Every structure is written in structure tokens, then in C-alpha cells.
């Protein structure tokens, strides 16, 4: 090290003193002390101004590494991982995921604060890059920020596709699809059937029929159904995978895990199908001037008439189709598959549900949707299934538009907030024997899923509550009632039901349920 110093003796003396002070052994200690003191003063000053700014402390959470924070320690099964952390750090905890702060909420009172007390503040989304990719830039209901555009999209869907009145008017479509499924399973009596696959296909067909009048039929049924299910399932899995690009936006262009590339490929498959349907619909209207009653027709009309304040564009139309196809099918079919698996694991539950069906419907009749409201035990089965396996175990993450207080802790603006409904539904202080599948707990009970009870809210709560509850309820009850009423089910020789869950934004069975149906109705004509 070279230093210039003056030739005067006093400055030489000063320099020597300074050198001795800073570079001797004692000097090193002193230097360290001074640096530490300066650091401490700055740190206290920073903490003081911060605590003045945020009246409440930051939530506790596990310590992470510099730069990457807790990212290296994330377990892919986020719902169980977050539940374990909550046992140590409490109902509001934080994780630093690269540059992103995640807050995990795991108690009824903190969930209420997020979804009800501060509903408007938290009614936004922190859109993951994959979500944006799949939904045409996040222009769908799920990812659009709370505001006029979101209100317009939600109103269009709820009024024209998902309301009880619309659903009543297209009951014939649901009936036809379910009858086809029953007919198909009847042909497979005695052999192994992919239960979830059949349920998925039924629900997908109902949805696509409502959207554009199309369904997968005949010989294509099994193969296209399986392919579609795979694509939808991959999409929801990608949406649940922590993505480095979300946590380090500077790295997004490198797409280090290849998630954007994968999601683009999946989206393109759907996009081609949507283009085809839209072209066909426009051509049909031009040639025949025919007014059809499906949702796509309505959307295209609305697009042309849209008012300029919140116009409905072609991008919106496609993004809504994506929400309905992906959001509606995987959630409902996985829930019904869980229900069938849980019941097969507890034959006394199947027996009781079938008894109820025999009393209400009879063995020489078929289930109609109107029967489902007379089946309290089956309704309890549905509620219990959604308690143990809520389709979206962490809801869709919320994001506050301003810094707020939850459970006495500061949640900063822009954080990604996970509400662990899965863990709340298994909390032993709320539920007796929480891990047991016991529909009886919902018989004659006050629990409902309207979003007003924060001990039980499988569809979420507040402004962002699920838009498809009425449809999910009908499809779940009608299809499970039909499968149980029409067939007895057993597992292939030597197999056991595997109830292991697989995490994704939508929860599913790790190993799909395969079972053997045996017809149980009095007349083969009831399977036609």
C-alpha cells in the first residue's frame, strides 16, 4: 500500500501514529471495533425507522442463505412443507424466496383477515410467469388484477355460463355426457377402468359442450381423453412448481428450469383448438346466420358489442375458454376421484351412500340431477372430501396492493400470500380425528362452503372466491351419485387404495385410481 504524505515532521508523526493504530495487532482490533460500531449504529437506525414505518414486526420464519433465501430448502409438496413450518413458526410466517417475499397463513383468524377484513387489499394476484404464459398474458379471471376488467370477465362467466339459471338450462348436456360415461363403463364391466380418467372426460365434455357444443366421442374417447387430461394436469403441475424466474426476475429470460418453454408448448395445443372452434363458429354464423346457444357464441357477440371502457377482446375470449377448460375440469375431476378413492378405502361409506341412492332413486331407475338435493349423505361425502383434499390446497396465491397487518405482523405490499386451507382443514384444534375420512361429521352440521366460515372454505372466500361453485357442486354430486348407483366397485386383485396426494396448484392422487365396475341395476336397458 503506498500513501503520499507531506515531508513535514508533524504529518510524518501523524501518519506513523495512524499506521500504528490501524495496522498493528491492537490496531486491527480497534479497526474491527470501529467498523462494528458504525455497522451497529446503521443497523439500529435502519431497524428503528423501519419499525416506526411498520407498526408491527415482520413475521417469523426459517433463516435462509444470502441471496437465495429459503429457496434451496423448499420441499416440492408445498402444502405439507408449509404446514410443518407453521408448527414451528406459527400461523403467519415468512419465507424469502430469492427476491420475493412469501407469506404463509395457516389459521382461521389470519385467513379471515386476508380474505375478509382486508379483502380488497388482498384481492390481487402475484402472477407467476407460467400463469401469464398460459393465459395470454394473465388476461383471464384467475390472474387479472382486481378492478373493472376482472369484474367484467367474472360477470360474463358467472351470468352466462356458471349461474344456476344457465346450468338448469343446459342440464340435458350434462345428462347426455354422464349417460355416455355409464354406457362406456358398462362395456368395460369386469375389467379395470381408470376412474379419474372417466370422470375427467365426462366433466371436460360437459364443459366443452357448454363452451362450443363439442365433445370427445366414440373410439377417440379413451385416447383423446387421456391426452387431454395429461395436458391439463401438466399445466396445473407447472403452475404449482416454484419457478426461479419468478424469484429472480433478472434471470427470467434464461428460463433456467425450462418451465416457460413447457407451458408455451402446452398453451399452443389449446390455442390451436380454440382457433379452430372460433373459426368454425364464425364460419357457421356467416353461412347460416344461425344463433347457437353456446358460451363461445355469446362471447364472440359480446366482443363485437363491447363498450369501450372495458372491451372484451379476442385475447379475453381465449383466456376465458382456458379458465373454463383448465380451471373447471381438473379441480372437479380430481375431487371426485379423491371421493371415490376415500370411499373405496372405507366400504361402509360406499354401502351407506348406495343405500341412500337405492331409497331415493331406486334400482330400477337412473339418477337425475334433481335427485342430488335429496341425498344428504352424499352431500356429506362431498364436503368431507373437500375438507381432506381441497382441490386448491393453497388457494390461488393472493397479493396485497398495500402493506397490511395480519395476525399482528406486517405483510408488505407485493408479497405472495399463500393461505394453507389444506392445513386448516386438518387442524386438530378444529376437527376431531382430522385425518379420518368421516362424512358423518358433516351430517346435520352447520358447515358450509359459502366462504363465511374460516374453519372450512375449500372454494376460498371473499371477492376471489371460486366462480364455479354451482357447477362444481352439480358435477361432483351428479357424477359420483351416478357411478355409485350404477356400479359396484372393487380394486384389482391384491391392490390397495393409495391415497397419497401429489401437489400442484390443483391437488391430485399420486397414483390414479383404477377399479373394476360391476353393474348393479335391475335392467340392462338402464345402461343404454
Known binding-site positions: 466
Q: Whose CA is closest to 77, among 510, 386, 499, 434?
A: 510
- Closer CB to ligand HEM, residue 71 or residue 115? 115
Among 103, 156, 235, 472, the residue binding ligand HEM under the rule CB under 6 A is 472
| Dihedral angle of Cα 511, 469, 81, 135, to the nearest 10 degrees | 90
Residues 335-354 within binding reach of ligand HEM (CB under 6 A): 335
Ranges assigned E (strand) in 257-318: none
Tell whether residue 142 is a contact of ligand HEM (CB under 6 A).
yes
Among 232, 467, 507, 521, the residue binding ligand HEM under the rule CB under 6 A is 467
Tell whether residue 459 is a contact of ligand HEM (CB under 6 A).
yes
Please tell me the distance from the alpha carbon of residue 378 to that of residue 485, in angstroms, as a whole number: 11
- Closer CB to ligand HEM, residue 200 or residue 248? 200
Kindly state the smallest distance separating residue 466's Cβ from ligand HEM, in Å: 3
Kindly state the smallest distance separating residue 114's Cβ from ligand HEM, in Å: 9
Among 59, 242, 327, 400, the residue binding ligand HEM under the rule CB under 6 A is 327
- Give the number of residues written for the chain: 528
Backbone angles phi, psi at 373, to 5 degrees: -80, -5
Tell whether residue 422 is a contact of ligand HEM (CB under 6 A).
no
Among 242, 328, 400, 517, the residue binding ligand HEM under the rule CB under 6 A is 328
DSSP state of 68: T
**In Å, how far are 28, 465, 475, 492 from 154, measured between CA atoms?**
66, 11, 20, 44
Tell whether residue 468 is a contact of ligand HEM (CB under 6 A).
yes
DSSP-based three-state secondary structure for 432: coil
Residues 162-181 as x/- pattern, contact with ligand HEM by CB under 6 A: x-------------------
Among 216, 319, 471, 515, the residue binding ligand HEM under the rule CB under 6 A is 471
How many chain residues bind ligand HEM (CB under 6 A)?
Answer: 27
Residues 390-419 within binding reach of ligand HEM (CB under 6 A): 391-392, 395-396
Please tell me the distance from the alpha carbon of residue 356 to that of residue 237, in angstroms, as a whole number: 36
Please tell me the distance from the alpha carbon of residue 186 to that of residue 528, in angstroms, as a whole number: 9
Please tell me the distance from the alpha carbon of residue 202 to that of residue 62, in angstroms, as a whole number: 44
Backbone angles phi, psi at 97, to 5 degrees: -110, 95
DSSP state of 57: P
Interface ranges with ligand HEM (CB under 6 A): 141-142, 154, 162, 323-324, 327-328, 331-332, 335, 386, 391-392, 395-396, 458-460, 464-468, 471-472, 476
Amino acid at each position: 500500500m503506498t500513501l503520499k504524505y507531506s515531508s513535514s515532521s508533524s504529518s510524518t508523526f501523524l501518519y506513523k501514529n495512524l499506521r500504528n493504530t490501524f495496522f498493528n495487532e491492537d490496531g486491527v482490533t480497534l479497526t474491527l471495533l470501529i467498523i462494528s460500531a458504525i455497522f451497529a449504529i446503521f443497523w439500529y437506525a435502519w431497524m428503528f425507522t423501519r419499525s416506526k414505518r411498520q407498526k408491527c414486526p415482520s413475521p417469523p420464519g426459517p433463516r435462509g442463505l444470502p441471496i437465495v433465501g429459503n429457496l434451496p430448502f423448499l420441499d416440492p409438496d408445498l402444502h405439507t412443507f408449509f404446514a410443518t413450518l407453521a408448527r414451528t413458526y406459527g400461523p403467519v410466517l415468512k419465507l424469502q424466496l430469492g427476491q420475493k417475499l412469501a407469506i404463509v397463513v395457516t389459521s382461521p383468524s389470519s385467513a379471515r383477515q386476508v380474505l375478509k377484513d382486508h379483502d380488497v387489499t388482498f384481492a390481487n394476484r402475484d402472477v407467476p410467469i407460467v400463469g401469464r404464459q398460459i393465459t395470454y398474458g394473465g388476461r383471464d379471471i384467475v390472474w387479472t388484477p382486481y378492478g373493472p376488467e376482472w369484474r367484467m370477465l367474472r360477470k360474463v362467466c358467472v351470468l352466462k355460463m356458471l349461474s344456476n339459471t344457465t346450468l338448469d338450462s343446459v342440464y340435458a348436456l350434462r345428462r347426455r355426457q354422464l349417460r355416455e360415461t355409464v354406457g362406456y363403463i358398462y362395456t368395460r364391466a369386469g375389467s379395470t377402468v381408470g376412474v379419474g380418467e372417466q370422470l375427467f372426460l365426462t366433466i371436460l365434455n360437459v364443459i366443452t359442450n357448454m363452451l362450443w357444443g363439442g365433445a370427445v366421442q366414440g373410439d377417440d374417447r379413451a385416447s383423446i381423453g387421456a391426452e387431454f387430461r395429461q395436458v391439463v394436469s401438466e399445466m396445473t403441475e407447472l403452475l404449482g412448481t416454484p419457478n426461479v424466474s419468478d424469484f429472480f426476475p433478472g434471470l427470467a429470460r434464461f428460463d433456467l428450469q425450462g418451465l416457460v418453454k413447457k407451458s408455451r408448448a402446452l398453451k399452443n395445443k389449446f390455442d390451436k383448438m380454440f382457433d379452430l372452434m372460433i373459426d368454425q363458429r364464425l364460419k357457421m354464423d356467416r353461412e347460416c346466420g344461425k344463433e347457437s346457444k353456446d358460451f363461445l357464441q355469446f362471447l364472440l357477440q359480446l366482443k363485437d358489442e363491447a363498450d369501450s371502457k372495458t372491451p372484451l377482446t379476442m385475447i379475453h375470449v381465449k383466456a376465458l375458454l382456458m379458465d373454463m377448460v383448465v380451471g373447471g375440469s381438473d379441480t372437479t375431476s380430481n375431487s371426485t376421484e379423491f371421493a371415490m378413492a376415500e370411499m373405496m378405502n372405507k366400504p361402509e361409506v360406499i354401502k351407506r351412500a348406495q343405500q341412500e341412492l337405492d331409497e331415493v332413486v331406486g334400482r330400477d331407475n337412473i339418477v337425475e340431477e334433481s335427485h342430488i338435493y335429496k341425498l344428504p349423505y352424499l352431500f356429506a361425502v362431498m364436503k368431507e372430501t373437500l375438507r381432506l383434499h381441497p382441490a386448491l390446497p393453497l388457494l390461488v396465491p393472493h397479493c396485497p396492493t398495500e402493506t397490511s397487518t395480519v395476525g399482528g405482523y406486517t405483510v408488505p405490499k407485493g408479497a405472495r400470500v399463500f393461505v394453507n386451507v389444506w392445513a386448516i382443514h386438518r387442524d386438530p384444534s378444529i376437527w376431531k380425528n382430522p385425518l379420518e375420512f368421516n362424512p358423518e361429521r358433516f351430517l346435520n352440521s352447520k358447515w358450509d362452503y359459502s366462504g363465511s366460515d374460516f374453519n372450512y372454505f375449500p372454494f376460498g372466500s371473499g371477492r376471489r372466491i371460486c366462480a364455479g361453485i354451482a357447477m362444481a357442486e352439480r358435477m361432483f354430486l351428479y357424477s359420483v351419485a351416478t357411478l355409485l348407483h350404477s356400479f359396484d366397485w372393487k380394486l384389482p386383485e391384491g391392490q390397495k387404495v393409495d391415497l397419497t396426494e401429489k401437489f400442484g396448484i390443483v391437488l391430485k392422487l399420486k397414483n390414479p385410481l383404477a377399479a373394476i365396475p360391476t353393474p348393479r341395476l335391475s335392467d340392462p336397458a338402464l345402461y343404454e
